[in-house]
Chains A and B, each alone.
Chain A
């Protein structure tokens, strides 16, 4: 785990909304509604970004150079309207990585202090991956 460089560190810590957006884009380009669906499904519906929060975060991420526009095209699974797609930049990938490392260290500390013991076995496997 190398220390994050200065250009990455100044973005940390990320807000939950921006981190979720970066995570959603880590798997590939998505349009706004695609990001919203991805975030909702990975959090099992617990986090739903409204359009306002979503696009305020997108604006900040674009300005910070963490994401970039990836052109406009239609999404065959939705309708024939054109949609603007967004993609992770190299910087965005490194920032998301640094944030994930930061969070995993927090979780490791929680585990050290035995906060995660006694949880139901169904939640355990999810944590093991960190």
Chain B
């Protein structure tokens, strides 16, 4: 009898909707109680549907929405409170110091701090990448190819990180039964449980704290690369389209040769300095983004596992579904609006990550 009720569309739809709403809760709370809350809601929806039909389901929702919002907000606030008990003195001290500093030294000092950050960025990040890009260009005499080469170089530097991420994922998977056993053993002593988990991780060479994830490291790199690339674009459109080579040459290191003509930015059907008119590059980049995130172990790995085994599946499917949609939409948006060179570099990075993942995860010749 019950499976039939579950398959009725008002019940099935309500259950699916309710599970989506669980995203609103803090992840720590959701990972422990999410599955049980969904179960309780389903029980109630079944009963109401049996006694009152579709109308009953409709009358269930106002109270359910009220409950979800109230409880989710309450739980978020509760977590904030617990967090702030530990960090408040520290953050408060910083804010007071900063306030005193600003009151005494503003606004000239603030201006100097911001321009100092700009100068540091220029010297430490922008100029090296910019010069690397031009050295690569000097070798291959094609600007798009130089862009791809610099991207490849950066991705190769990230390979050890990718390997470490995969190793962690494997170890965590292997430790899963141990962790479950520990959880049963210490189910009423959360502190002892955490200590035992830490000890287990330590024995298997996993250091606490999250690794900087592959996806996260891409953003600063893309930003610096785009910044370098943008100098070339600016130079080629300066003087009402006539171009200004000095804009490029002023940032080249003195010991490197200067350019004597502007680089050609055309790339098959498009110009890398402009948005792709056919939108092929952004669409390809968005597809690759989804693919890369679907490779399960490329996404951030958590140091500590959720407390229970069953709700974990629910949480990860919810979270990764959202992330995929968001990442694809963002990629499309940026690819559509920004010069095509950005989408090209992002696409190459993703290809590297997918290839690296396939090779390192044990299906390739290097494993």
Using a CB–CB cutoff of 8 Å, the interface residues on chain A facing chain B are 32-33, 36, 48, 50-56, 58-59, 68-69, 78-79, 81, 83-84
Among the listed A36, A55, A81, which residue makes an inter-chain contact with B33, where contact means beta carbons less than 8 Å apart? Answer: A55
Closest residue of A by beta carbon distance from B37: A51
On whether the beta carbons of B187 and A50 are closer than 8 Å, the reply is: no
On whether the beta carbons of A36 and B71 are closer than 8 Å, the reply is: no
Asked if B244 is an interface residue, CB under 8 A from chain A, the answer is no
Asked if B117 is an interface residue, CB under 8 A from chain A, the answer is no
CB neighbours of A59 from chain B (8 A): 29, 32-33
CB neighbours of B110 from chain A (8 A): none
Among the listed B40, B68, B188, which residue makes an inter-chain contact with A32, where contact means beta carbons less than 8 Å apart? Answer: B40
Among the listed A32, A50, A52, A56, which residue makes an inter-chain contact with B39, where contact means beta carbons less than 8 Å apart? Answer: A32
On whether the beta carbons of A50 and B66 are closer than 8 Å, the reply is: yes
Q: Is the interface of B mostly helix, strand, loop or mixed?
A: helix
CB neighbours of B33 from chain A (8 A): 55, 58-59
A-B contact count (CB 8 A): 61
Give B107 Cβ to nearest chain A Cβ, in Å: 46
On whether the beta carbons of A52 and B43 are closer than 8 Å, the reply is: no
Asked if B41 is an interface residue, CB under 8 A from chain A, the answer is yes
Task: Give the size range of B's interface with the partner.
Answer: 20 to 34
Among the listed A36, A52, A69, A78, which residue makes an inter-chain contact with B68, where contact means beta carbons less than 8 Å apart? Answer: A52
Asked if B67 is an interface residue, CB under 8 A from chain A, the answer is yes
Interface centre among B36, B41, B68 (most CB of A within 10 A): B36
23 A-B pairs, CB-CB below 8 angstroms? A33-B40, A50-B67, A51-B38, A51-B40, A51-B41, A51-B64, A52-B71, A52-B72, A53-B67, A53-B71, A54-B40, A55-B33, A55-B36, A55-B37, A56-B29, A56-B71, A56-B74, A59-B29, A59-B32, A78-B43, A81-B39, A83-B36, A83-B39
CB neighbours of A79 from chain B (8 A): 2
Asked if B44 is an interface residue, CB under 8 A from chain A, the answer is yes
CB neighbours of A36 from chain B (8 A): 40, 44
